Amino acid sequence: MNYDIANPDLAEGGARRIAWAGRRMQVLETVRERFREERPLEGHVVAACLHVTAETANLMLALRDGGAEPILCASNPLSTQDDVAAALVADGIPVFAIRGEDDSTYYKHINAALDHAPAITMDDGADLATVLHTDRRDIEVIGSTEETTTGVIRLRAMAADGTLRVPVVAVNDSATKHLFDNHYGTGQSTLDGIIRASNILLAGQNIVVVGFGDCGRGVANRADGLGASVIVVEVDPVRALSAAMSGYRVMTASDAAEVGDVFITVTGNKHVLRMEHFNKMKDGAILANSGHFDIELDLASLRAESTGRRQVRDNLEEFDMPDGRRILLAAEGRLVNLGAAEGHPADVMDMSFTNQALAAEYLVVNQDTLEPKIYTLPSEIDDHVASIKLFHLGGGLETLTPDQKDYLSGWQQGT
Ligand SMILES: NC(=O)c1ccc[n+]([C@@H]2O[C@H](COP(=O)([O-])OP(=O)(O)OC[C@H]3O[C@@H](n4cnc5c(N)ncnc54)[C@H](O)[C@@H]3O)[C@@H](O)[C@H]2O)c1
């Protein structure tokens, strides 16, 4: 079997973590049980470009139970869990991913996954789809799936300018993905990453959250719960107002730069914090990014204009500024929750990856009618996923009486 990983000897520890994550992914397990019986993906190669984590490993195993031949490469150079990669390889699943790989190895690995001639591709950020639409137009696929906001934005841009040549299921657009993974997953794991990198007490700190979308709202909420004083920076007036009415201070990036202790970017945009902001920050300010790419912070300028730099802890680098201040950067400005922690907990990836597994099935079942467009999974799938998750959380779901159904579908009854 062809693969490229850091160290096959790490397999045992990786297998333990995969098993632990699997115990908390009950919705995916339900799908796996059906997949084992029905084998809806029989014979299809699935090339997945996802964060190589214990949760992703469980998705790979579910796809294999469904009859697919999964191949895995990384969707970020710094998010690979080498022990998980080793465990998957030991279990017969080809993986091309090494934590800390450089950009050229990263793309070599994407190409290696595509060399397996996949019928379906899965992305987190649309890097694989981009290669599929540029260097590897030789590969014909049934369709692709996309996990994250930034990837969906890139794919919609491809659709808008006529570049898109395959059907894409935007998994991020499913309610049981973005309302939970982006909010609760990013909210918790981002702070987990910052705490692991710095071990600072968040209580009493001014935490600046740049971007108040699904992710930013979750981060702000969790930081608030830990006793931080939350400041939000937003460009969208409605979201900024929503932040203000949630009790957070809302400021321009320029004003926030002067008072923040920790800055967290979650915009999906580029250079939302740059030299004009770094120049105003306090000595010891910490920068962390949890948006998809490492361009949310203008790191090239920070590196160029600093007079010295050193690693002060694992995943925490310190930069000397010309005026003597020090600025700290977590996880190289890459996704801090995956670079400095373990990414989202399995409990929430359960729903995201159930949607991924069902999206693969959706592409196979509907392959004759799908066009090169962006699709969202039917809302019945959201209801199904949410119901199973709720059941496992011990919740009960109320049902409408026939009389209530009539009332809600009629117009006659008023004041
Ligand atoms: N860390 C993770 O594990 C993880 C998980 C899910 C999504 N993401 C990524 O996080 C990013 C945000 O995702 P989301 O779902 O919250 O997106 P979203 O579109 O819901 O929210 C982004 C917000 O950022 C705001 N914004 C854009 N430019 C800005 C600027 N210059 N200053 C201030 N605000 C600005 C937008 O107005 C918007 O409200 C994306 O890149 C997404 O792919 C990361």
**What is this structure's pTM?**
0.96
Q: Taking 90 as the threshold, does the pLDDT of residue 1 lie above it?
A: no
Q: Which of 172, 182, 221 to mutate to test the pocket of ligand 1 (most atoms within 8 A of CB)?
A: 182
Predicted confidence (pLDDT) per residue in 13-46, tens digit: 999 999 999 999 999 999 999 999 999 999 999 9
Predicted confidence (pLDDT) per residue in 42-64, tens digit: 999 999 999 999 999 999 999 99
Is 93 in a helix, a strand, or coil? Answer: coil
- Atom 35 of ligand 1, nearest CA residue: 211
Rg (alpha carbons) of the chain, rounded to whole number: 22
Atom of ligand 1 nearest to the CA of 216: 16
Ligand 1: residues whose CB is within 6 Å?
148-150, 178, 181-182, 186, 210-216, 233-236, 239, 266-269, 272, 290-292, 335, 337
Answer whether 170's CB lies under 8 Å from 374's CB: yes
Atom of ligand 1 nearest to the CA of 148: 43
Instruction: Report the alpha-carbon distance of residue 2 to residue 16 in Å, rounded.
Output: 23
pLDDT at 394: 96
Answer whether 16's CB lies under 8 Å from 90's CB: no
pLDDT at 327: 98
Atom of ligand 1 nearest to the CA of 335: 1
Answer whether 151's CB lies under 8 Å from 123's CB: yes
Ligand 1 centroid vs 154 CA: distance in angstroms? 13
Ligand 1 centroid vs 293 CA: distance in angstroms? 11
Q: Which of 51, 292, 351 to mutate to test the pocket of ligand 1 (most atoms within 8 A of CB)?
A: 292
Ligand 1 centroid vs 296 CA: distance in angstroms? 10
Atom of ligand 1 nearest to the CA of 293: 41
Answer whether 108's CB lies under 8 Å from 42's CB: no
pLDDT at 11: 98
pLDDT at 23: 98
Averaged pLDDT for residues 184-213: 98
Q: Which of 127, 146, 148 to mutate to test the pocket of ligand 1 (most atoms within 8 A of CB)?
A: 148
Ligand 1 centroid vs 49 CA: distance in angstroms? 20
Averaged pLDDT for residues 202-223: 98
Averaged pLDDT for residues 174-182: 98
Averaged pLDDT for residues 119-123: 98
Predicted confidence (pLDDT) per residue in 139-161, tens digit: 999 999 999 999 999 999 999 99
Instruction: Report the alpha-carbon distance of residue 155 to residue 217 in Å, rounded.
Output: 24
pLDDT at 160: 97
pLDDT at 63: 98
Predicted confidence (pLDDT) per residue in 296-347, tens digit: 999 999 999 999 999 999 999 999 999 999 999 999 999 999 999 999 999 9
Burial 326-355 (b: 16+ CB within 10 A, else e): bbbbbbbbbbbbbbbbbbbbbbbbbbbbbb
Answer whether 168's CB lies under 8 Å from 145's CB: yes
- Atom 10 of ligand 1, nearest CA residue: 291
pLDDT at 130: 98
